[in-house]
Structure 1
Amino acid sequence: MDPQIRNMLKILENNPMPDPRTTPLDRIRSMERLAVSQVPEISVRSVRDTVFRLPGRDLKVRIYDDAGSDCAILYLHGGGFVLGSIETHDAMCRYMAKHSGAKVFSVDYRLAPESKFPAAAEDAIDSYAYLMEHSPDFGISSERICIAGDSAGGNLTAVACAMAKMRGLRQPRLQALFYPVVGPDFASESYREYGDGLILTHDLMSWFSDQYLNGPQDALDPRFSPILLPDLSGLADAVIVTAEYDPLRDQGETYAERLRRHGVNVTAIRVSGMVHGFLSSAFYISRAAEDTLRMVSSLIGSRLRE
C-alpha cells in the first residue's frame, strides 16, 4: 500500500468518523464540510455558482474555468448517494479544471434519504441534457462534453450514459468513472478481501443502499445497476479508474470488460497501492494519488480536444 495512504488510514483509525447508522445525518454532513474546509485552496481563474433549471426542480451547479475552453466535464460527486456535495469535491474539481483545460460543472444533485431512487439518476441525465441544450450560453461545445464521477458519482455517470441511449440523446464524447459502483456485488474477490477496515466497508455499503433504494427490487433496475443491461453497445468511450485495495475494484473492471465486449472503446486503469476514494479525498495527501489525478485529468482534456 502507498505509505502516505497507510498513514492516512492510521490517522482515521485513531480518529474515526461517527457511525452513520447511529449518528444524525446532519451532524455527519457538517463534519464532512468542516474536514474539507481545511484543505488548501487550489487557485482557478474563474469559479462561479449557477442553477440548472430542470423540470420540477432547480439544481445548484458550480463552474470551474481555468482556460476558457469549449470543452466541459459534467462532474457528479461521490458519497454513497447520501453524503458529498459541491463543497466536499471543490478541491478535486479545481484540480481537474487546471489540469484538463476543460470547464468543470459540479452538480449538487439530490441526496438520499430525503430523495430516494431514482432521484439522483434523473438529476444526472437531466443535467447532461440541460448542459447540451444550453451549451452556447456556457461557451462550450455540445460535442465536447465528458460526464465524470467518483464512487456513487461513477454510478450516476454510467447510468446517465445508459439513459441517454434509452432516450435517444447524443452520447457524451467521454464517460470517466472513478472506482464506480455499477451493480450489486457480494461475492467478488475484491469485495470479500477489502470490505472491512479500508474506508468503504460491507456495512457502510449496505447502509448507503438502504438510504438510497426503495427496496431490493431497485438493485436490479438498470438506473442503479447499468452492468445488468443486456446491450451496452453505442455508449460513450470510457475511462475507468479502479483502486487496488477497494471492494468495488472488481465490479469496475468487470464493467470495463463488458463495455469492451459490446464494442465500446475503454481505457481501464488499476492504480496500485490505493484505496477507495483516493482521487477525491487523498490526492492532496499522497503524491501518487495526485499524480494519478493529474494524469487522468490530462487524459480527459486531450480526449475532449481530439
Structure 2
Amino acid sequence: MSNTNKGPEIPTTGTRTKLVPSISQFLKDNSSLHLGGDEDFHAERRKHLEVFGIHSIPKDKQHPIGEVEFTAIRGPHGTIPVRVFYPKSGEEHRKKGEAGALVYFHGGGYTVGSVDEFENGLRFLAEESGVQVYGIDYRLAPEFKFPVQLDEYSHIIDWLQTSGGQERGVHPSRVSGGGDSAGGNMTAAISLRRRDEGKTPLHSQILLYPEARLPFDTPAAAENNSGYYLECNGIFSFADHYLPRGTPPSYKYISPGMQYKEYLKGQSCAGVYTSGFDPLRDVGVEYAHKSREAGNEIVWRHYDGMTHGWLQMTAWSDEAKDAVRDVAADLKKFTYS
C-alpha cells in the first residue's frame, strides 16, 4: 500500500467554514449565473459561454499557454472536436516522446458547457503541471444519452495511447483522465469500465468536485442546496437528461460512488478535490474515502471556503488559482515521479 494511503484518514462528509471573499464577490457580480437553475438549460448554455468563454475573459486575465491545437478525430458516434493545450513547461518531455497527457471531460451536468468555457483554467493547469491537456467537446445530453459520452471518452484514450499520442510526443503509459463535476463522474466511470473490459488503464485520475452519485441524502445537499452557483435540485434534472430509460441511477458506470468498495479495487491513483460550499461535497468525500478503503492510491484535498466550479473562476479568484496549482502539483507528481 502506498504512502498516500497511510496519510490522514479521509472522512465520509466534508466541512465548510466561510465562503472566500473573491468567490463571494464573483457570485454577486454574476447573480444570474446558475447551473441547474429554474431557467431552461439552453439559456444556461448561453449564459455560461457569455461569462466563462475564453473570448469573453479580458486579455490580462487569460492564462498564457505554449501552444493550442484545434483538431478532431472520427469517433464511434461521429466527429469529436479536441483542443490540445501544449505547455511550454512540458516541451522537453514532448521532444523526447515522454510527455504526459490529460484527457479532460468538462462539467456542466452532462448538458451544459464546452471547452471554450474551460480553456482558461485548463491552460493554467497545463503550464503548472507540464502535462498536455486535451479538452474534449463530447456530445451533450439530453440530445445524446449514456453511454455515448463514455464511448467517446474511451475512444480518445485509445487514440492517445497509440497514434494520436505518438504524433504529439506523449508516452503511451502517461495518459491520464480528468474532469470536474459530471466530468469527474465520467472519469471515475471510464476508469472502472476500462478495467472491466481489460483495456489499458488510465495512468491517473483527476476528479474535481465529482458527482460520484446523486446527492439526495447528504448534509451538503441541505447546507448548500441553493445560492452557491450549482443548484442542488437541478442535478436531478441533469441526471434525467443523461440516463436513458431502463438504466437505474445506481448502475456501476452511472454512480461509481454507490458501489461496494470491493468493486472499486484495482484502479489507478487519483486526486479528489472537494469544496465546502458545494452540494456535491459529500458524495466526493465519500468516494475518496471508499476508494482509499478499497486500497487505491488517493490524494484528497478539501477547500472548505470554496464553492463548485473554481476551475472556471481563476480569472476572478486567487484562491481558485491556488486550488488549481494544487491539482497541477498532484498531476505533475502522478505523471513524472
Letter in 2 for 1:300: L
Q: Percent identity?
A: 28
Moved over 3 A (4+): 15-24, 215-218
Q: Does 1:50 align with 2:71?
A: yes
Q: CA deviation at 1:16?
A: 4.7
Pair 1:167 & 2:197 matched: yes
CA distance in 2, matches of 1:223, 1:127: 18
User: Does 2:275 correspond to 1:243?
Assistant: yes
Deviation string, structure 1 residues 182-210 (Cα, Å, up to 9, x no partner) = 11231111111111111112332122112
Q: 1:164 to 1:106 in 2, by over 3 A?
A: same
- Per the alignment, residue 124 of structure 1 pairs with 153
Cα distance, 1:185–1:215 mapped onto 2, change above 3 Å? farther
State the distance in 1 between where 2:39 and 2:106 align: 24
Matched, 1:4 2:9: no
Deviates more, 1:36-45 or 1:149-158: 36-45
Cα deviation, residue 224, structure 1: 1.0
Instruction: Note closer, same or farther for the CA distance 1:75–1:226 as it changes in structure 2 (3 Å cut).
Output: same
Corresponding residue SS for 1:141: strand
The answer as to 2:137 corresponding to 1:137 is no
What letter is aligned with 1:93? L
Instruction: Decide whether aligned partners of structure 1 residues 127 and 32 sit closer, same or farther in structure 2, where only a CA change above 3 A counts.
Output: same
Q: Is the 8 A contact 1:47 1:63 kept in 2?
A: yes
Contact kept, 8 Å, 1:54 with 1:130, in 2: the verdict is no
SS at match of 2:300: strand
Letter paired with 1:3: P
Q: 1:154 aligns with which of 168, 172, 184?
A: 184
Q: Distance in 1 between matches of 2:174 and 2:153?
A: 17
Asked whether the equivalents of residues 41 and 111 of structure 2 are also in contact (C-alpha less than 8 Å), the reply is: no
Spell out the pairing of 1:249-288 with structure 2 (5 A cutoff): 249-280=281-312, 282-288=313-319
Q: Count residues with an aligned counterpart.
A: 303
The answer to whether the Cα contact below 8 Å between 2:180 and 2:210 also exists between their aligned partners in 1 is yes
Matching residue within 266, 281, 287 for 1:234: 266
3-state DSSP class of the match of 1:113? coil
- Larger RCO: Structure 1 or Structure 2 (Cα < 8 Å, ≥ 6 residues apart)? 2
Q: 1:218 to 1:21 in 2, by over 3 A?
A: farther
Q: Distance in 2 between matches of 1:118 and 1:248?
A: 22
CA deviations 1:56-108 (Å, max 9, x no partner) are: 42200001102223111111111110011111111111111111101111111
Cα distance, 1:47 vs structure 2: 0.4
TM (norm. structure 2) is: 0.85
Return closer, same or farther for 1:287/1:19 CA change in 2, 3 Å cut-off. closer
In the superposition, relative to structure 1, how do residues 31 and 10 fare at CA in structure 2: closer, same or farther (>3 Å)?
closer
Mark the CA change 1:21 to 1:150 in structure 2 (over 3 Å): closer, same or farther: same
Tell me if the contact between 2:175 and 2:203 (Cα under 8 Å) persists in the aligned partners. yes
**Is 1:186 aligned with 2:224?**
no
2 CA distance for matches of 1:262 and 1:17? Answer: 35
Query: Residue 74 of structure 1 corresponds to which residue in structure 2?
Result: 103
CA distance in 1, matches of 2:280, 2:223: 11
Of 4, 19, 29, which aligns to 2:45? 29
Provide closer, same or farther for how the CA distance between residues 2 and 203 of structure 1 changes in structure 2, counting only shifts above 3 A.
same
Gap regions ≥5 residues in structure 1: none
1:202 corresponds to which residue? 232
For residue 220 of structure 1, report the CA deviation from its aligned partner.
1.6
- What residue number does 2:335 align with? 304
Cα distance, 1:24 vs. partner? 6.4
- Mapped to 2, the partners of 1:146 and 1:183 lie a distance apart of 22
Alpha carbons of structure 1 residues 63 and 197: separation in structure 2 relative to 1, 3 Å: same
Q: Residue 27 of structure 2: SS of its match in structure 1?
A: helix
- 2:69 maps to a residue whose letter is R
- Aligned CA RMSD, in angstroms, stands at 1.8
For residues 311 and 231 of structure 2, the distance between their equivalents in structure 1, rounded to whole angstroms, comes to 18
**8 A contact 1:41–1:91 mirrored in 2:** yes
In the alignment, is the contact (CA less than 8 A) between 1:63 and 1:106 conserved in 2? Answer: yes
Q: Measure the CA separation in 2 of the matches of 1:242 and 1:188.
A: 14
Deviation at 1:142, TM superposition (A): 1.3
Distance 1:63 1:97 in 2: 10
What's the TM-score, normalizing by structure 1?
0.93
AA in 2 matched with 1:237: C
Paired residue for 2:86, among 62, 65, 68? 65
Question: Could you list the runs of 5+ residues in structure 2 that have no partner in the other structure?
Answer: 1-18, 94-98
1:148/1:16 Cα in 2 relative to 1: closer, same or farther (>3 Å)? closer
